[in-house]
A and B are shown apart, each in its own frame.
Chain A
Amino acid sequence: MGTRNPVTWLGSPAFPEAARTALADTQLRRNLRNATTTIRGRRAAAVAELPDWERLRRAGEAIKDRVLAELDTHLERLEAAVTARGGVVHWARDAAEANEIVLRLVGDEREVVKVKSMATAEIGLNEALAAGGVRAVETDLAELIVQLGDDRPSHILVPAIHRNRAEIREIFRRSGLAATGDAPRELAEAARAHLREKFLSCKVAISGANFAVADTGSVVVLESEGNGRMCLTLPEKLITVMGIEKLVPTWQDLEVFLQLLPRSSTAERMNPYTSVWTGVTPGDGPAEFHLVLLDNGRTATLADPTGRQALRCIRCSACLNVCPVYERTGGKSYGSVYPGPIGAILTPQLVDDPHDAQAASLPYASSLCGACFEVCPVRIDIPEVLTHLRARVVSARGRTAESVAMAAAAWVFGDPARYERAQRLGSLARFLGRDGRISRLPGPGAVWTASRDAPVPPRESFREWWRRNRG
């Protein structure tokens, strides 16, 4: 690829180094631990309510595999359906091209409202708009917190999961949003007041999409706060940026995903609001609708028969919440808008450059415990892809100091006893060296760093341990 893919953040250190820093931050770890423990419990309850959960997962997996196997056909059908209903479809090979298209479509407006979208975060759209003199106002509460705090998101679904209420109130105060207190209700009220006027006055909105139906051209957005509805309904022009893999073939297929996604992500029977629109409807909503179809590394991912299953992902974030490595290091250590287990397999494939040390380190950010596969609503075998990508890195680059450091991180995370021991001895950080070098590893690790290649982690035992301790 010509230009750098902004899916990883410029200047982010490779995972072992970033994890070293994150592990030293006890507030962060406490916030994360509380959050992931809570979400895990709620999700388990929401899923247990459906006796056909496993059947829905298998259907979801098959529908997405169908889409991928015939992606060109489905894309052409979607384009035809959207166009027939008065929408305009644009194609973007990479982030720069997508950003250019959006900036051009924004026209003379200086401010646009945005609803949270992984695709636009992936392409660095806000930064590109700012460079073009356009201010993108994030309207999701969590995204607003991240934006006002000049921060990075740390979770797909709850980007400000690493912030507690006192920190949020302080961020608001510094940006001139007056909250009457630090109760979530008071903070939400401050955000409502701040954004109301923007919704009512903005002429252009930018969104992502959770799904698009190839057959009918319908685009689907799931959300909670109503900011999505505001953006999708009030402005004159709507620009939706969507990865080319977000399709489902038919309207009927949505019956599977409208059950899988809310329970997997927010652990609700249904999220508060789901909007579906098809092209333009005169007298109801934006008069202009643009759909930007984004490649940005997706076709490269599709080309790998093992790795392509990552494109089934519906961004529910269930895999983050069950991941022991994510829980300890937080989302920002992954240096990408896609953190956690899905980030560890998706980001390096989207970057598609084995010489990008940071992206190449991500497949090592895992203990291969398999919890992510068990919760994934579309049954992505994340451990399988991780192992596959590790092999790919080694075959492309050979064993370098960095790859040894990455493998060491994986080795420490790969076994609870090693992890606990490393923690007891001060902090895990000590064993994950600076500058991608290993200073020392405890016990057998020292031998291993000298002589062994990719370690085989005790997959079963870790999983059992994790279950017993976290359930």
Chain B
Amino acid sequence: MADARSEVLARVRAALRDRPTPPEVPRDYERTGDASLALLAERVAHYRAAVHEVGPDELVPLLARLLAGKRIAVPADLPWQVPGVTWLVDSPPLPVAALDGADGVLTGCAAAIAPTGTIVLDGGVGQGRRALTLLPDHHVCVVREDQVAGSVPQALARLDPSRPLTFISGPSATSDIELDRVEGVHGPRRLEVVLVRAT
């Protein structure tokens, strides 16, 4: 008997005996859209995540206020210095129990999508590995204005699919019981997004 791989491929080829023509893909759907912080803020808030908007100079004071006195997990290359916080730096990698016990996690992001209220992490600078933003119960994520895309197509064009990507649209949620939305199942129960204006 042939091996499974050859047999499945042979079955596929036999099934396509009628040689269907691969159609051209019509790409006349919208490619661009509103990339404003205002829209992103509205759409993120719709998922019942907290949203803050600040100028570049106000970022560190805001983070200091949000995280004061807490034990916060962070990737080793976090670009901000915030006073008054106990940092749990993920280098060497924190054990899951430590992540699970942290009060929260602070990261940046790789991109955001305004119309869908989505932030995307790709494990790049200031984001860390995926478990870091998963186990702590509170995720504070900083988004720069220049990272915001106005559409899903624009966002995907900016991302590198060979990196591990996480698209986050609001806190974890379920609607499995009578379609009632409940925020906070297994992922962070609180998502707080900090939008930083370019100027």
Which A residues form the contact surface with B (CB < 8 A)?
31, 34-35, 38-39, 50-52, 55-56, 58-59, 62-63, 65-66, 68-72, 75-76, 85, 90-93, 97, 139-142, 145, 158, 160-161, 164-165, 168, 184-185, 187-188, 191-192, 195-196, 199-200, 213, 216, 218, 224-227, 229-230, 232-234, 244, 251-256, 258-259, 266, 268-278, 281, 283-285, 293, 295, 299-300, 302-303, 305, 308
Contact = CB atoms under 8 A, between A and B. Distances in A.
A216 B164 CA distance: 12
Chain B contact residues, majority secondary structure: loop
12 contacts: A85-B162, A92-B8, A93-B8, A141-B174, A145-B176, A191-B185, A229-B186, A258-B167, A268-B169, A269-B46, A270-B113, A299-B15
Contacts of A308: 15
B130 A254 contact: no
Contacts of B185: 141, 188, 191-192, 224-227
B178 A34 contact: yes
Nearest to B129: A284
A224 B174 contact: yes
B18 A276 contact: no
B172 A302 contact: no
B8 A299 contact: yes
Given A218-B162, A270-B116, A281-B123, A187 B177 contact: yes
B161 A251 contact: yes
B17 to A, nearest CB: 8
A268 B8 CA distance: 36
B26 to A, nearest CB: 5
B9 interface: yes
Nearest to A293: B8
A275 B117 contact: no
Contact of B20 (A51, A65, A192): A65
A225 B12 contact: no
Contacts, number: 240
Chain A contact residues, majority secondary structure: helix
A52 B31 CA distance: 10
A184 B9 contact: no
Contacts of A295: 8, 11
Contacts of B12: 71-72, 75, 244, 299, 302
B170 to A, nearest CB: 5
A281 B163 contact: yes
